Chain A
Amino acid sequence: MTEPVLALEGLTVRFGSRRVVEDLTLRIGPGEVLGLAGESGSGKSTAALAILGDLGPGGRIEAGSLRFEGRELRGLAEREWRALRGAGIALVGQEPMAALNPSMRVGAQLAEVPRLHGRASRAEARAAARRALEELRLPDPDRMLAAYPHQLSGGQLQRIVLAMALMAEPRLLILDEPTTALDVTVEAEIMALLRGIRRTRGTAMLFIGHDLALMAGICDRLAVLYAGRLAEAGPVAQIFERARHPYTQALLAALPRIYAARRPPAPLPGSQPLPQDRPPGCAFAPRCTHARRGLCDRDPVPLETVALDAVVRCLRWREIDGAPEAAPALPGPDIGGPILEVEGLTRRFGSGRGTVHALQEASFTAFEGETLAIVGESGCGKSTLARLLMGLERADAGTIRLRGVEVQDRLAGRRPRDLTAAMQMVFQNPSDTLNPAIPAGRQVMRALELFQGGLPARTLREGLADLLGLVRLSPALAQRMPRALSGGQRQRVGIARALAGDPAVLVADEPVSALDASVQAAVIGTLLELQRTRRATLLFISHDLALVRQIADRVMVLYLGRIMEIGPAHRIFGALCHPYTRALLDAAPRPDPGAPPPSPLSGERPSALTPPSGCPFHGRCPRRAELPETLCEDRLPPLAEVAPGHRIRCHLPPERLRF
């Protein structure tokens, strides 16, 4: 058997009195890609820091061994660590902007690597930097080398960070959620690059992430971490085919599947315990449907080898059936008349260098009781649209009619109370949606006071209890400060607050994108259930097409401030769609290790400051060649109806847009 590149044996990392990582055993063979999956707080980033010898002042390795190419790293002096980092083990983190020095040109930063590790001359270092960028297919490398980080896009920066990590030719590359901050098309591009690197260089990788679908596309083996301990590890195909641990099963069930029937992802109740609150027995037992009292909650569960190269930490894995219960399919929506009509809505931002067209002539109608998903990459205008609807910003042109009343000229606070209550918003960031200085319950109470003004205090208190019950929160949580709530709980409080006025339209701006997969499914479930029972219209803004596929009745796709397509979800995902929508679908990762890798979209997204003429998508459109010479550059295609209720903005005839 060949020597593994990295071997962890019973690694335990402690911060103060808390064991963040416990008894972690992992092996990465030469050229192998190991996925370390886990939700936030599972200890996966701490494990990465321990491997890099960078735990910081509070943390220390309490037990276990950490061997890199057969050499024990525990107890290494700081000087030896420095020699190892970069050349032996390199790290690519989540935030490329934070990894690069904002006051240094990219070229100078890249050139530091060979200067430091290979003692190259200045000219050699420059040349090496240029080669590194070319290898990662960055367009116009000379311009990149001369640029400052803030002048480049997130995708370009992440490729530069990757280039920097590869320049010292490390034997192990640690990737800590390398695509979390990126759009789906850019993500697909980075993942394709990583697969290429693996093929050509054979670098061993530790891929840390929370998105199992993404990891299915690159990893050979998968290790699932829960509450600091390994829950399960094994070959990736085996895990996707037959996960043994109930937690892995739940995670897989919670994954939105893009080509599956229209049903919401299966939720997993509760949330991961903090290191100080971990139960004595199996850490997952409190959330596990298979847990037995007196068995699972007594002693720490040992890791058991269940097959060649597969381990699981569960006492009952033999008795558990591999397939967890799927969530019931959504009932068909009960769609009523139009409730929100938007006509020619336009928003421009003037800046010193020109005008940004955040939203151009958007027209659509939302009907009572439907879920309309608004999809697009960052900067496409979807958040601007939400802010315009809510009256947080004033539109430059166009009309918004809510229940037949024009509201576009009335900013929030100037709208009559019933119209304010009729359209409410759920915000994206769970750490920001609630005021951190005010107890959670009081924030919902305030909304009740405003919308149901004049009611006696007792009725309001009952209303608060009802609302918290609706979003499945215990009334005891009302007294807590937001920081004492988990992300999912905060999002639920935010939903309860938006429901206080019994809204007819609920605008949800990426309400679950910052949540862990298992929590995400539960919040989505709550949102959908409420929408169905209350017959509210849900405007669901998202970048996650798989999720949209499973919950939306209709879909609207935005690109550079323009509506590119709007239509029924079953048609867009099943019959025919715009080339851009198609590209988004193709770029989405598939939770299936056997599936062909997603195909990235070529080309950089143009700046909204200098939008392309004609069709905004022509520069990246894979089907551009099918049309005569300059048609796409010259003329903006109309948003033409290709079927009842399905409109597409493309010069190609609809029959050529079929799947």
Chain B
Amino acid sequence: MEELGWLGILGRMALRFVPVWAGLALILGLGWRARARLGPAGRLFGSWAGLSGLTLVLFWVLTALFADLIATHDPLAQLSGLKNAVPGSPAPGSSYPVYLLGGDSLARDCFSRMVVGARRVLAIAPAATLCALAVGMLLGLPAGFVGGRLDAALSFLANLVLAFPVILLFYLLVTPEIRQTALPRTVAAVLFLMPLLFLVLLWHSRFRTRAGPWALGLAAILGPGLWIWAGLALDADPSGLWRLEPGLLTVFVAVVFVNAPTAFRIVRGLALDLRHRDYVAAARTRGEGPWFIMLWEILPNARGPLIVDACLRVGYTTILLGTLGFFGLGVSPESPDWGSTINDGRRFLAIYPHAAVVPALALLSLVLGLNLLADALRTEARHD
């Protein structure tokens, strides 16, 4: 088999992405039909930016989901003779006859690494964002709602973290001396507890007057919650289902740590504005507790800006993960995540650009999609 031209490469790639196309068609088609009932989310279909942002993001989500079906090779397998192979090089004797986007400096398939890398990126970035938002909400809501000294103390803390250079913080977190201490695990334990605490407070404040649903809900939250928490943060899951490799844990902690203060500031600002509304006063005069007011009266009205922020933040976190990977921080050297791959490829950038350009384009398109989506959501929220 001879080397493929660009037309052939694109054609074959399009064929590999068939599950993604099918998924896109299904989701966008259903969404289009139901757009009138979806509220602001439905109006995304009416704007060019919203639709393209949604398509780009969905494309990568589906790619991550179907990565096993799409990838042509094992992302770690090396094929002799295909070191730095140009895109479209034949790969005889392997699971697929061609290296669609060429090989990297270790003769691994760039296409498959990009596809499998999407899974890595899309698992960590949204999870880290959610964690950071949970921290931001749990601290930002009381800071904004109660105000006074609590606000001053928490805001000072947030500013302290924000004033610290991010890259330096990362380097500190991944230096072996620090990694050997219990610090990352402790911080992880605290940070991972936040989403759990958030859910518990959410349920408790709403159902404290009704014993039945209260107990049922708390059991449903705490059971699996503590299990996952023990597995991820303490590496103490007996079944071994939930665990994070130490390197990834550090990266995760670092990303949440730098994201939390900005999330805190947004939530605090929103709470500060919303706490003077009449419906908050109405809730107070009927004897609601502070957490009910914060989580059930204020938070739902802050969700618009928070969703927009979450979209932007996932993009930002993706770049951050790329940067970390680029510096070789945290993730294992073999990892196919986009940041590390760009770093690996940059050494031969002048001669064999494809190894670095492929993941770079992937990163760019995902972040672009997230930003477009956030922009469109913001516009819609303003119309509401």
Contacts and interface: CB of A to CB of B under 8 A. Distances in A.
Interface of A: 387, 390-392, 412-413, 415, 417, 420-421, 424-425, 427-429, 432-438, 443, 446-447, 449-451, 453-454, 494, 497, 500-501
A412 B301 CA distance: 22
Most buried by A among B287, B289, B296, B297: B287
A417 B300 CA distance: 26
B278 A428 contact: yes
Most buried by B among A391, A427, A428: A427
Contacts of A435: 279, 297, 300-301
Contact of A392 (B210, B281, B290, B303): B281
B282 interface: yes
Interface residues of B, number: 19
B279 A434 contact: yes
B288 A494 contact: no
Nearest to A424: B285
3 shortest interchain CB distances as A-B pairs? A437-B300, A427-B278, A432-B278
Contact of B284 (A392, A433, A434, A454): A392
Contacts of B210: 449
A432 B209 CA distance: 26
B203 to A, nearest CB: 15
B277 interface: yes
A447 to B, nearest CB: 5
Given A437-B300, A438-B300, A453-B209, A427 B286 contact: no
A436 B301 contact: yes
Nearest to B297: A435
Nearest to B301: A437
Contact of A437 (B284, B285, B303): B303
Interface string B283-323: 01111111000001100110100000000000000000000
18 contacts: A392-B281, A392-B284, A392-B285, A412-B287, A413-B288, A424-B286, A425-B285, A427-B278, A428-B278, A432-B279, A435-B279, A435-B297, A435-B301, A436-B279, A447-B286, A450-B286, A454-B209, A500-B286
Most buried by B among A413, A425, A451, A454: A413
Contacts of A449: 209-210
Interface string B254-286: 000000000000000000000001110110111
Mostly, the B contact residues are helix
B301 A417 contact: no
A307 to B, nearest CB: 46
Nearest to A426: B282
Contacts of B301: 435-437
B369 to A, nearest CB: 27
Nearest to B288: A413
A433 B281 CA distance: 9
Nearest to A413: B287
Given A428-B278, A449-B210, A390 B285 contact: yes
B113 to A, nearest CB: 44
Contact of B285 (A412, A429, A432, A446): A412
Contacts of B288: 413, 450
Given A427-B278, A449-B209, A500-B286, 9 more contacts: A390-B281, A391-B284, A392-B284, A412-B287, A413-B288, A420-B285, A435-B279, A436-B301, A497-B286
A432 B286 contact: no
Contacts of A387: 281
Contacts of A412: 284-285, 287
Given A438-B300, A449-B209, A449-B210, A433 B278 contact: yes
Contacts of A436: 279, 301
A394 to B, nearest CB: 13
Nearest to A454: B209
B310 to A, nearest CB: 17
A254 to B, nearest CB: 25
Most buried by A among B285, B296, B297, B300: B285
Contacts of A427: 278, 281-282
Nearest to B302: A437
A642 B297 CA distance: 48
A501 B278 contact: no
A425 B287 contact: no
B39 to A, nearest CB: 10
Contacts of B278: 427-429, 432-433
A634 to B, nearest CB: 40
A364 B120 CA distance: 69
Most buried by A among B278, B282, B297: B282
Contact of A420 (B277, B286, B296): B286
Contacts of A447: 286
B285 A451 contact: no
A453 B208 CA distance: 10
Contacts of B289: 413
Most buried by B among A420, A446, A500: A446
A570 B300 CA distance: 48
Contact of B282 (A420, A437, A454, A494): A494
A434 B300 CA distance: 13
Contacts of A438: 296-297, 300
Interface in B27-66: none
